[in-house]
Structure 1
Amino acid sequence: MDEVQSGSRTAELVLGIIGGVFGLIGATAALFLGAGFNVDSAMTGGLFSILFSIIAIIAVVFISKNPKIISIVLILSALVIFITSGLFGFLGAILILIAGILGLVRK
């Protein structure tokens, strides 16, 4: 089986940043939808999604320094974003998850 070539982490960086931005957009939508309908759980979920989207964006910048730990942080952030914002954060969570998996697979 061929091993994945090591090299730059551009794919993880781009996917992580784009996923974080989409996560922020989805979390903001969930936050305002929750505020509009006065649903506390949606507002809390939106705030957690915003927090973990920002964590994912900051973490992905350091992907080349320690790729294994940052990849685990990205995967956990993706799971939290998907759980807390539901379908609003789906696209962002998927992109962050792919970036995290790529970081783990590459050597």
Structure 2
Amino acid sequence: MKRTAEFVMGLIGGIVGILCGFSGVLLGSVAASLQVDGSGTVSTASWIAIAVSVLGIVGAGIVKKSTKLGSLFMLIAAVVGFICISFFYTVPAILFLIAGIMGFARKGKGAVA
């Protein structure tokens, strides 16, 4: 079965997630230059969000070959990214979540309901 919808949503979610992660790194760097407490935590959490966005892109890439593993990667990226930088990661988390659930929920052509 073609998994084009999951692939496209995962790829867009990953790209947007990387951009959101870099905006969090930028925000953390500005806060560090202003000597705000906790700025290092923001930068670290943003780098983790970038890493899980890459994991989500990997999941989107393998969702056609290994549907369950790719869907699991996208669900992990949605949850961990949202925990790391919450509001900044809302759009990528929604895209990864929908793509991951679709990967688990959709049946193949030969499956019987």
3-state SS in 1 of match to 2:63 = coil
Paired AA for residue 99 in structure 1: A
- 1:27 aligned onto 2:9: no
After TM superposition, where is structure 1 displaced by more than 4 Å over at least 4 residues in a row?
none
User: Following the alignment from structure 2 to structure 1, what is the Cα–Cα distance between the partners of residues 52 and 100?
Assistant: 14
1:89 matched to which residue of 2?
A: 89
CA displacement, residues 37-59 of structure 1 (integer Å, 9 cap, x when unaligned): 01011000110001010111122
Which structure would you say has the larger Rg?
2
Structure 2 residues not aligned, in runs of 5+? 33-38, 108-113
Calculate the aligned-residue CA RMSD, in Å. 0.9
- Contact 2:59–2:69 (8 Å) recurs in 1: no
What is the aligned-residue identity percentage? 35
**Larger relative contact order (Cα-Cα within 8 Å, sequence gap ≥ 6):** 1
Paired AA for residue 74 in structure 1: M
2:8 matched to which residue of 1?
A: 14
User: Following the alignment from structure 1 to structure 2, what is the Cα–Cα distance between the partners of residues 28 and 94?
Assistant: 18
Structure 1 residues not aligned, in runs of 5+? 1-6
Moved more, 48-57 or 65-74: 65-74
